[in-house]
Amino acid sequence: MNQADSAPPASAADSRLMSVDALRGFDMLWIVGAGSIVNALERMGANPVTAALANQLKHVEWEGFRFYDLIFPLFLFIVGISLVFSLDKELERGGLAWVLGRVFRRGILLFAVGVFYYGGVSKPWPEVQLGGVLHRIAACYVGAALIYTFVRSPGGLVIVCALLLIGFWALVTFVPIPDLKLSRAVVEEVARKIGSDAPADIAASVGNRVRGSYEEGRNLVNYLDFLYLPGKKAQGYYINEGLLSTLPAIALPLFGVLTGLLFKNGRVESRGKIAWLVAAGLVGLLLGLIWCPSFPLIKRIWSSSFILVAGGCSSLLMALFYWLVDVRGWRRWCQPFVWIGCNALTIYLASAIVGFQSLAARFTGGDVERFLDARVAQGFGGLLTACTGLLLVILFARFLYRRQIFLRL
């Protein structure tokens, strides 16, 4: 991913649309502060509305779908849209070999940033984390960019997406694995019995096989992470952004690539583009919901049904933002989103390194928060801190935007 692609558009003809930056900023805002405001409102006084909103800002434990489960897939979808505009320019300017070099360089740099984000090499091996959100973005960016470089037609891209989703389903459904529940108690018990804690030895000691299991810790996706993913694993023996689940995840930026090609198609009018986005979104939702009884909606293994539902929702949101921002021309309301969207990676890293909410507490925490809780309403101090943290994010993004500072990879 290249944050230079997020720079303010010079013209509609040769840059992305403002709605793309606005949607990216809207997406990032929920990661770095907006969610804490909803949670603070619920702590002030739970009611059906605040409880429902707060529930939508929590990931499902395993099966299901909530708004918060859309945040990361939506970002990958937008990566694909930006990829079309940037890669087309680079192909014209430098040719195939030059483009491939830039794609791999960006992917490696973003992967390295991901390692740094999760602590770098501050801990001894194997406590270094080699998988996570930024690692998944890097892998999906490289995968989608390579596919788009060699498969230029929309029909061909649709076929690739279908192959990725159906192929992943076939692997998870039909490939047998050792019937081993990847929980600490079970794995440690097996390791004790065989006298080895090596994943390969533990797996080899299990005689029974199972296939078509989508249970947490007992499926092909988690099992391959247990065997082959090096370094620290966030979920103990596997991670949510593991090895095999990268395959279906690549379909999300490819959905974005198809959207980018639609935006670049001068033969389709604005209303036609909105119609295509809405139709694609509804088809994705329908296909995902039809598939989910046999292949459940599971974000943590990026099931194919989940990819379709998330892609459908992303397309519908893109249609809404495109209609509001670029067709209707209503742009003032979304300026904070644009500021954040133009520096999404910078904001994401800063939120982890600086901690905008903890920084806000330096101004509104402690006795100030206790005073407000006692004199205004219980929980009001926490709400003020959450709002202050979000304001700091917006002001920081505005500072970078106004000075034309954009992180480049």
* Nearest one of 134, 138, 146 to 106, comparing CA atoms: 138
**Domain assignment present for 155:** yes
Q: Provide the 10 A C-beta neighbour count for residue 62.
A: 15
Confidence tier at 39 by pLDDT (50, 70, 90): confident
At 1 the pLDDT is 40
Query: What average pLDDT is seen over the chain?
Result: 91
Least confident interval from 94-108, 178-192, 335-349, 351-365: 351-365
At 409 the pLDDT is 67
Q: Which single residue is written with the structure tokens 């779908």?
A: 65
Q: Reduce the secondary structure of 253-312 to three states and give it as a string.
A: HHHHHHHHHHHHCCCCCHHHHHHHHHHHHHHHHHHHHHHCCCCCCEHHHCCHHHHHHHHH
In this predicted model, what pLDDT tens digit does every residue of 217-236 receive, in sequence order?
999 999 999 999 999 998 99
**Average pLDDT estimate for 56-74:** 94
Residues β-bridged to residue 129 = 232
In this predicted model, what pLDDT tens digit does every residue of 348-369 receive, in sequence order?
998 888 888 889 989 988 989 8
Q: Decide: residue 298, CB within 10 A, 0-12 exposed, 13-18 middle, 19+ buried.
A: buried
At 357 the pLDDT is 86
∠142-161-143 over CA atoms, to 5°? 5
**Domain assignment present for 124:** yes
Stronger pLDDT, 17 or 273, i.e. the higher one: 273
**Domain assignment present for 73:** yes
In this predicted model, what pLDDT tens digit does every residue of 283-303 receive, in sequence order?
999 999 999 999 999 999 999
Cα Rg, the chain, nearest whole Å: 22
Confidence tier at 24 by pLDDT (50, 70, 90): very high
Give the number of domains in the chain: 1
Q: Which domain range does residue 165 map to?
A: 3-175+211-402
Residue 192 has pLDDT above 70, yes or no: yes
Q: What percent of the chain has pLDDT over 70?
A: 96
Confidence tier at 16 by pLDDT (50, 70, 90): low
Least confident interval from 127-131, 352-356, 398-402: 352-356
**Domain assignment present for 191:** no
At 8 the pLDDT is 42
In this predicted model, what pLDDT tens digit does every residue of 368-388 receive, in sequence order?
989 988 888 888 888 899 999
**Domain assignment present for 203:** no
Residue 79 has pLDDT above 60, yes or no: yes
Instruction: Give the global pTM.
Output: 0.92
Residue 49 has pLDDT above 90, yes or no: no
**Domain assignment present for 384:** yes
At 231 the pLDDT is 93
**Domain assignment present for 261:** yes
Cα 211 from Cα 176, distance rounded (Å): 4
Residue 9 has pLDDT above 70, yes or no: no
**Average pLDDT estimate for 257-274:** 96
**Average pLDDT estimate for 12-22:** 71
Q: Decide: residue 328, CB within 10 A, 0-12 exposed, 13-18 middle, 19+ buried.
A: exposed
**Domain assignment present for 205:** no
Q: What percent of the chain has pLDDT over 90?
A: 74
